[in-house]
Structure 1
């Protein structure tokens, strides 16, 4: 009898007991009534009387462990919160409110209470802001590893619904002129709408290993991004295997196809992107002049400004990877779709942070 009750207690679930004493006593009575159906003799009753106090203690301990860790998180200073979870408390609270309103986290009241949105979001931040495996994260929040992974996937899916609002190509002329002016003030180059570049995200050896092995000898997924003067992403394209060059990734991206079909719509008034020498020279994409002894003084000066400008993309990618350390390296995980979605979610959060001047 006791073994049956213990199995019920330890069943893998994404839920935990609610904080109210009413729910605790209800859960207790439910277990008692459930187990009584299987009691056959006085020996079972005696076993139950010895075993149920232990079960009640485990239920209370589980809830207290979760509450204690939430209390630890909320007792962080602002600097500790941002360093450990990647976001400021202000942004985290705003996103938690949005997550709760979205309904993507179940809020039914029957049986076991599901993990609340606040806890789900902290689990996700603990995952994306660090490179540690799932086991210590699951241990701290006192849920199973499988439940931890389900929570992370669900929050990632929700963040992706915010992508179109967070990562936007400049539309109206006032916004375009503001970006161009910001670049001119920083770099001295006029009519520049952004910097385009790629970064490699290191992954474990996938099924199609040769395709994902890059020129540096490790397996990776490529993130292509265009960046404005404030280091915000204005367009991203992610998921191509690491063996591809930046030029090939560009040609496969929606940005390239849209610019080819409607250049005036994306790059009005002769605006353009700058990219390194691996990119093709296009009417809307300007690489540096190829180095040779015949370059004019103006061309050499432009190359110098061009090189300084491209450092903005390095700075943006470094900021992304230092804030969300998971993007530096995906250990264990081999699901390319999950990795790609997580990288995109990190880019969305990156723009949220910069919008708040962090």
Structure 2
């Protein structure tokens, strides 16, 4: 009878446990339970082989899901994880060399870079909670979250390489010419705009409640003619307007102190009517009955141009759907870091010609 109870307890404990940190103690617990019984040594032949079998079964579940991902077609891989397999493999190779993924074991399965990156992609590609994600990969929720934070921290190290302001004369000239071809506006270096990222109600709720009535943080970005981010500033509370966010950003401080450093040869950004008119930022003319025909034509071009930033934000949120809504998470620093990481991957994918089906 005691043997039967022990078998039931052991099976339920190992197969239903979601915390890998408990795995290493299962053997000790079994030993303690067994020593407290009066059974003879013959029970060893039953309990410990069973425990080893169940532990191997858990390891197999992880391996099986990795094999499932590897068995996906390239189309299915991209549909589920939102980037191409080729892009993912290149990033995994970089992650392996980075040292951000510890070499020691957490529980049963060494958290190899490939596994960690797949966990991160599963997290950022959709809005599902961590629990089903942890179940699929057969690691604890705490380990899943730890993996996500480590991969985010690693991606942030690529910020200056992935999102950079155009400095080279030829690069600036190319951007301006591309904008001119697409919009008819000369000397334009980019479009500036903000988007709200919905979050759960934080502690200082009033500060993060935006005019639309939900809680959010703001992502400010400048976008080139190919929808690449050339500058981002993220984390301001949703109650702030675009003009206030701009004045808090490093972009504003640098441009105010030394315009030519960012906007040589009278280049400029365009932004909607909520932005102030500055030597390097051009909003549309205020709509009134006194506008000339040329001013109205400029406003029409201006409006069409701003759609580039709208498309860039839409693409970001379609590819990385976590950016649409952060459920459960209330740590603003983690949310901000994840948004920035998504922006970095957005640029990385564009540089790799890794487009979504909608773009293609």
Q: TM-score, normalised by structure 1?
A: 0.90
Cα deviation, residue 268, structure 1: 0.2
Alpha-carbon distance in structure 2 between the residues aligned to 1:211 and 1:276: 23
Q: How many residues align?
A: 346
| Residue from 108, 115, 120 that aligns with 1:119 | 115
Task: Please tell me whether residue 168 in structure 1 is matched to residue 175 in structure 2.
Answer: no
CA distance in 1, matches of 2:22, 2:293: 67
Determine whether 1:68 maps to 2:64.
yes
Asked if 1:12 is matched to 2:8, the reply is no
Aligned to 2:127: 131
CA contact (8 A) 1:226 1:233 kept: yes
Q: CA deviation at 1:49?
A: 3.0
Task: Find the residue that maps to 1:59 and give its secondary structure.
Answer: helix
Unpaired segments of 5 or more residues in structure 1?
17-26
Task: Tell me how far apart the structure 2 counterparts of residues 4 and 64 of structure 1 sit (CA, whole Å).
Answer: 18
What are the Cα deviations for residues 97-139 of structure 1, in whole angstroms up to 9, with x where unaligned?
0001111111248995521000000000000000100011001
Out of 42, 51, 57, the residue aligned to residue 53 of structure 2 is 57
TM-score, normalization by structure 2: 0.89
Contact 2:105–2:111 (Cα < 8 Å) also in 1: no
* Rounded Cα–Cα distance in structure 2 between residues aligned with 1:154 and 1:302: 47
SS at match of 2:307: helix
- CA distance in 2: counterparts of 1:188 and 1:41, whole angstroms: 85
- Work out which of the residue numbers 71, 90, 93 in structure 1 matches 2:89: 93
- Change in Cα spacing, 1:44 to 1:179, as seen in structure 2 (3 Å) is farther
Structural RMSD (CA): 2.7
- 1: CA distance between counterparts of 2:87 and 2:329? 28
Contact 1:15 1:115 (C-alpha < 8 Å) held by counterparts: no
Change (3 A) 1:294 1:111: closer
Q: What residue number does 1:259 align with?
A: 255
Q: Sort the Cα spacing of 1:67 and 1:233 in 2 relative to 1 into closer, same or farther, 3 A.
A: same
Q: 1:39 to 1:11 in 2, by over 3 A?
A: farther
Question: CA offsets, 1:49-70, max 9 Å, x none?
Answer: 3322331222111111111111
Q: Write the distance in 2 (CA, Å) between the matches of 1:65 and 1:40.
A: 32
Q: How does 1:261-300 map to 2 (within 5 A)?
A: 261-300=257-296
Which stretch of the first structure deviates more once superposed, 271-280 or 6-15?
6-15
